[in-house]
Amino acid sequence: MLTNTLNKQQKHINLVFLNRVVVLSLLVSIFLNFNVLYFQSIGKGLSLYNDLFQTTILSQLIEIVLLSVGISILLGWGLNKQNNLKINNIQDQYALIALFSILGGSLLMSSLDLLSMYLCIELQSFSLYILATLNKNRLSATSAGLKYFLLGSLSSCFILLGAAIIYSYTGLTHFESIQSLLSCSIENLNLLNIVEIGSLEGLNVNYSIIIGLVIILMGFLFKVSAAPFYQWAPDVYDGTPTIVTVWLTIIAKLTIFVFLFEFIGLPYYLSDFTNELMNSSVVSNTLTIKNLLLITSLLSLIIGTVGGLSQVKIKRLLAFSSISHVGFLLLALGIFNQRSIDSFIFYLVQYSITSLNIFLIILALGYIIKNVSVLQSNKEDKDLNYLWELKGVFNKNIVLSFSLAICLFSMAGIPPLIGFFSKQFVLFSSIENGNNFLSIVAILVSVISASYYLKLVKLIYFDDSETKSALVNSVEGDNNIESNYLPLLNLSNVHSYIIALLTFILSFFFINPSLILNGTQLISITIFNI
């Protein structure tokens, strides 16, 4: 018995040590990113590693946000006083695998070539596949991890297929070379010795590039769970442990959206080309990247909102909520002008902050609400699963309940919280661009989605936690369910401080918004050379 105890203690020490090493590595990376920003020649970008990657102001600043989010997750969970190897069934490889996912995401944001793009997205994806399946003792986690692996591999196949189509018709993999080819008119194609003037092959080359870019975009939209490629997200979010779901929700979306911003800039050279060739054809509009993004945005807004209304599980509800927020991001990205990109970057930052705080609070409430008692000796999962588990949480922990309510109100876009300003900026850029129908839909779904955020607030503040329903008995099958609701625990100071800091940012952004807003505006101005 003594030997087993020592072995377990040694494993716990190794886990904490590994977390600290990873956190220190990320802190050093943040310091290096700040130093890079002092280079005056960075401009719109500096090429690295034989033009496979580039460093831009946007990639460096978002990478700082990415690294900060990673540090918050690792510190908030990994150094918790009550944590051991059995909580959430996460093994000691968690921190190392998380580091690889951050590495893949950081490189993806800087990718400048089809080859580096594919290798980086696969590095990030395989890390997330492993994280999703770490909880081997839980059937739902194994099923969710397998589903995520199979469908994620399918989306990677789309990305690879699109890259292969572009390369087979052009012989190019570098983004700037593809951009130069797209910006050439058919008359100039002959000067480049690519095709003959007036031949159908010239049209085939350009349309093949369009098709390849659209297929690549579909693969990335699948990975960010945009409609109609969202079906995997609710099941995977619900099946994986909360400490893994936070990576799927924030890290993957943050890096892919920044890459899409730089990647989507290429096909906008196609607008004039397609309109000249097919001015009277409806196909000319449907083939453009802009219309594809706007259609996907519309579907994401509607499906994410309507799908969330009928959910009874917390993480499935948050999955549909994230689909709705992806719709706002795609709306800003589809407009693609200086004002919309400004709102896009700001929305991305606030979404990451709000989502991180929500998941850290859910982790904390899971530790507090679910006590591992004798009756639960075989139940090592401390995740909150159902909405009714939040009943009466206000009576158990006032501070966490208040913080969660602030996050939910911010997600709903209620002023004067930061979420209101992010939606306002996206809607303003949309109306300014003439997308009145999409703007009306976005306003309506924001109002409708507020209902399920308010339902959570009602459960937290106004429902009695001691009331047992037939649903509780049918789901848990435990006559002693009150034993799960014992106030427990002593969160780590780091976990508490992170939640407090994020809640403060969400609540009092309106007092001094210039720090974030000036930064996003400077980035958009630099990108568009204004």
Q: Could you write out the DSSP letters of every residue in 81-121?
A: TT--TTGGG--TTHHHHHHHHHHHHHHHHTB-BHHHHHHHH
Tell me the residue length of the chain: 530
Residue carrying structure tokens 């050093």: 28
**Distance, CA of 189 to chain centre:** 40
CA distance 473 to 484: 13
pLDDT score recorded for residue 319 = 93
Consecutive H or E run containing 53: strand 53-55
Q: Which tokens hold the place of 307?
A: 């799908």
pLDDT tens, residue by residue, 448-457 = 999 989 989 9
Sign of the Cα torsion 469, 471, 472, 478 reads: positive
Instruction: Give 528's DSSP letter.
Output: T
Consecutive H or E run containing 406: helix 398-412
Q: Which tokens hold the place of 453?
A: 């955020």
Distances (CA, A) of 47 to 54, 102, 121, 171, 182: 4, 21, 19, 21, 21
Ramachandran angles phi, psi of 53, nearest 5°: -135, 160
CA distance 351 to 345: 10
Q: What ranges do the domains of the chain cover?
A: 42-527
**Distance, CA of 321 to chain centre:** 12
Asked whether the beta carbons of 311 and 452 are under 8 A apart, the reply is yes
CA distance 295 to 334: 9
pLDDT score recorded for residue 274 = 40
pLDDT tens, residue by residue, 245-284 = 988 899 999 999 999 988 876 555 444 444 444 333 333 4
CA proximity to 513, closest of 420, 430, 387: 420
Q: Could you write out the DSSP letters of every residue in 385-396?
A: -BGGGGTTHHHH
Residues 6 or more apart whose CB falls under 8 angstroms from that of 408 comprise: 358, 453, 454, 456, 457
CA distance 259 to 58: 10
Consecutive H or E run containing 48: strand 46-48
Instruction: Give 55's DSSP letter.
Output: E
CA distance 178 to 243: 40
Q: How many helices (H) and strands (E) does the chain have?
A: 23, 2
pLDDT score recorded for residue 427 = 94
Which of helix, strand or coil describes residue 415? coil
The segments of the chain whose pLDDT lies below 50 read: 1-9, 79-89, 185-202, 269-287, 372-380, 466-489
